[in-house]
Structure 1
Amino acid sequence: MKSLVKHAIVLLFVLIVSTQTAAAAPQWELDPPHSSIYFSIQHIYATVRGNFEDFKGTVIFSPDDLAGSRFDFEVQVKSINTGNSKRDSHLNSGDFFDSKKYPQMTFKSTAVKHVADNRYVVEGTMTVKDVSQTIAVPFHLLGVTDHPFDDKSEVAGLEARMTIDRLAYHVGGGKFYDMGVVGKDVDVLISLEVTRKK
């Protein structure tokens, strides 16, 4: 009887460990050609759009293991591209990002939470220039499927949208905002395609 109980306990332990291992959040690799950080901002009456072309990130995510999930990103500021080199140089100057002094923007997550269905929120610290603030970024898990070009891999899509007050991060001193030239609210769209081996 004692032997039967012992075996049952061992079996239960193995099942628990197996379940935890299966649910552990995997690490995904960014697919750079299919991942982008876009932004848009008001210029008088026009909307100026652009993106950051150079960024890297750590994506560890599973809906079954949110405690073990993590999103950390680093963006090279000088990679900003609005389709106008003169404007990009101005944005990199001390009037705005001052990319020589502050070459990177970063986001380091502290928690990932489920909202409903395929909607989540990642909380963390975003640092731009000399300012670090705690923010909550809502995102959608667009789906997970077998990679069409590699049957040994999976591909997932993630999309996040948020609005950032650039003045709160000292991106510009407010002079151009007071003049009615450049808005303070920046709409951001982060579109990620990530892959992993099965």
Structure 2
Amino acid sequence: MKHRLLGLALATALAIPFSSHAVEYTTVQKDKSRIDFTYKQMGVTVDGKFRRFSSTLSFDPAKPTAAKASFDVELASVDTGAPEGDQEVIGKPWFNAAAFPTARFVSGAVKPLGGNRYEVAGELSIKGKIQPVVVPATFTAQGSSGVFEGSFTLRRADFSIGEGSWAKFDIVANDVVVKFRITANSK
């Protein structure tokens, strides 16, 4: 009798198709996420951040190539550490936030590199200019949340950030490093 029950349990278990319980991260926790930037002004490193952004995200670690993400950053939410700096940067020569209120990143292909590392190819749009970018990122599961971290360098001249006398790189460097830490919940 025991052997028959054991055989029946084993046959039932083998008849059920194996499936992994997929975890998909979709809801960004804004209070635990940030988008920062670093650049050099007159040879001195300056840090800043954006206070507001919206996003859509769909990431399943078991199917990373199917991942999708988009981020809309409110350029007027820039925080340079000084109110006068914030006002300068949202003006026409820099972000021209009145005419171009958001910067947008939309992912395309996601390439797994192993060890929770990925390359996310996509398009970055700032001031009406669109450039392809490849963003290296890591992913770490933390309970029901996941943390995405990474950074990439953009060249402000590619997006006309700093026009007129600011188009030169003698005072403000061309390279701007964008860093992010995005925390998302799974569904």
TM-score bracket relative to the smaller structure: 0.7 to 0.9
1:60 paired with 2:58, answer: yes
Residue equivalent to 1:144: 141
| Seq. identity, % | 26
> What residue number does 2:111 align with?
113
Residues 162-194 of structure 1 show CA distances to partners (whole Å, capped at 9, x for unaligned) of 111011011112633536111110011101111
Match of 1:36 in 2: 34
TM-aligned CA distance change 1:165 to 1:174, over 3 Å: farther
* 1:178 pairs with one of 164, 168, 181: 168
Higher relative CO (Cα under 8 Å, sequence separation at least 6) belongs to 2
Equivalent-residue separation in structure 1 for 2:116 and 2:136 (angstroms): 11
Q: Which runs of 4+ in 1 moved over 2 A?
A: 173-179
Structure 2 portions without partners, runs of 5+: 1-13
Aligned equivalents of 1:33 and 1:108: distance in 2? Answer: 22
The two structures have a TM-score, normalised by structure 1, of 0.81
Kept in 2, the 8 Å contact 1:27–1:59? The answer is yes
Task: Verify the 8 A CA contact 2:25 2:184 in the aligned structure 1.
Answer: no
* 44 and 174 in structure 1: CA distance in 2 versus 1, 3 angstrom threshold: farther
Q: Distance in 2 between matches of 1:22 and 1:174?
A: 55
Find the counterpart in structure 2 of residue 150 from structure 1: none
Question: Which residue does 1:151 correspond to in 2?
Answer: none
CA-atom RMSD, angstroms?
2.0
Is the aligned partner of 1:167 residue 2:161?
no
Give secondary structure in 1 for the equivalent of 2:100: coil
- Give the whole-Å Cα distance in 2 for the aligned partners of 1:69 and 1:22: 17
- Aligned to 1:96, the other structure's residue is in SS state coil
Whole-angstrom distance in 1 between the partners of 2:125 and 2:183: 24
* Partners of 1:33 and 1:121 in 2: CA distance: 25
8 Å Cα contact 1:177-1:183 kept in structure 2: no
